[in-house]
Amino acid sequence: MPGAGLAGSEQGFFGRARELGAGAARVLEAGARGRHTDSVARSLTAARLAVAGFFFVHGTLVATWVSRIPAVKEGTGLTDARLGLALLAMGIGLCAGLAPTSWLIARVGTAQVMVGSALGACALLPGAGAARSLTTLTPALFGYGAMLGALDVSMNAEATWLEQRFGRSIMSSFHALWSLGGLVGATVGGVLAAREVGPLAQFAGVCAVLAALAITGRAVLGQVDDDRLVRAHLVWPSRAVIAIGAVTACAAIVEGGVADWSGVYLRDVLGSGPGMAADAFAVFSVAMMIGRLAGDRLIDRFGGRAILRTGALFAALAIGAAIVGDHALGAAAAFAIVGAGMSMAFPLAFSAAGRASGVEVNQAIATVATMAYGASLLGPPLIGFAASAISLRWALGLPLAAAVAIVVLAGRLHSLPPARRRRRSGV
């Protein structure tokens, strides 16, 4: 029948039109999803660069101050004991700045806390350079330490969140930027000290640059997502977080021991020249930075537990070799191995804290950082006390024992990032 044929033709035409329309809609939807995915990826990459900038700012601030401690001591006319009191105030400030940071992050977001604490540190450090007595230096260093502590927690909290969004290990790269900042700050400080530039002028110039970098980083990060602002409530840290904190405490003892005592050991015990003794910490720092630059790929391939254990084991063996050896060059090489072996301890610990269950990320990181700072304050003096009693050679057994403890404790950190399975070709 002609009518039936015409009707069938019309149905076929409209059916094909609907199919074409549905196909076009799917293409448009896929394109929109692709554009959204690309936009999210670009935003995450920009945020990663911005947070890396804050790690660089923190490392540069720390090294800028440390590189000019002798000049500040001379300018204030402080004795060793009084300078020790001022440095203790900075350490107390560091720990004091950690406690309220998780509460602040929950109220205003990590981006606000990062930029606020970075700008606060940049404002307070020149005050330490301008100090002329213990009464003016101590409050400046206390406030400076508190700002550094708040920046430490907030930037690691943001880095942990970004690592979870990326779905792979990126924490090590952030800490590599911290190490790079430390090298830059120490280098600039050494050059300006050699040219007899005063601490105040150096602190003011460096802090102006770092403040601009912090403001730029805040602009890149943009507004914090509302779902990341939660009610903060203090809870007792879980056993998992305490175990992670114990690892960071041991790592701080190892790093602090090598940083503060390796040069003295090479010069006074092994009889090296002043040049090698002065370069010991620089070699240690460079090795640590190189280890952190390669760390993310190693973690993704072998897993966090294997990297933490292996690195700590190599560090323990290297410290043991430095203790029993009698050659300064060999001991300097051993300290470089310690730097590479311990390079992943802090990045892995903060990553594990962000993954730990039963506690908010901000509070977990604050707890871990507090234990690390506490150990960094106690470790080097304990080595000094032991050195006066049994000699510096055997006093280095304390960081050796701390490295061995990390090897043992690594098995209890169940929130360490696992190895990522590689896809087979063709799948």
Spatial CA neighbour of 48 closest among 191, 161, 184: 161
Q: Which of 327, 338, 194 is nearest to 261 (CA)?
A: 338
Q: CA-CA-CA-CA torsion for 37, 42, 48, 50, nearest 10 degrees?
A: -140
Question: Whole-angstrom Cα distance, residue 59 to residue 183?
Answer: 8
Side chain identity at residue 312, one-letter code: A
Structural domains present in the chain: 45-229 (1.20.1250.20), 237-417 (1.20.1250.20)
Q: What is the pLDDT of residue 83?
A: 82
What's the pLDDT tens digit per position in 345-376? 999 998 888 887 667 777 788 888 888 888 88
The distance in angstroms from the start CA to the end CA of the chain is 54
Residues 360/230, Cβ–Cβ less than 8 Å:
yes
Using 70 as the pLDDT threshold, list the residues of the chain that sit under it.
1-41, 222-236, 274-275, 277-278, 357-358, 421-427
Handedness of CA 297, 298, 302, 303 (dihedral sign): negative
What are the b/e assignments for 10-21, b being 16+ CB within 10 Å?
Answer: eeeeeeeeeeee
Q: Report whether 309 contacts 410 (CB < 8 A).
A: yes
* pLDDT computed for residue 309 by the predictor: 95
Note the helical H segments in 68-79. Answer: 69-76
Categorise residue 197: left if φ over 0, alpha if ψ from -120 to 50, beta otherwise.
beta
pLDDT of residue 224: 43
d(CA 40, CA 309): 35
The dihedral built from the CA positions of residue 70, 76, 77 and 79, taken in this order, carries a sign that is negative
How far is it, in rounded angstroms, from Cα 396 to Cα 387?
A: 8
Separation of alpha carbons 57 and 155, rounded Å: 11
**How many Cα atoms sit within 13 Å of 408 on the Cβ side?**
8
Determine the Cα–Cα distance for residues 338 and 340; give it in Å rounded to an integer. Answer: 5
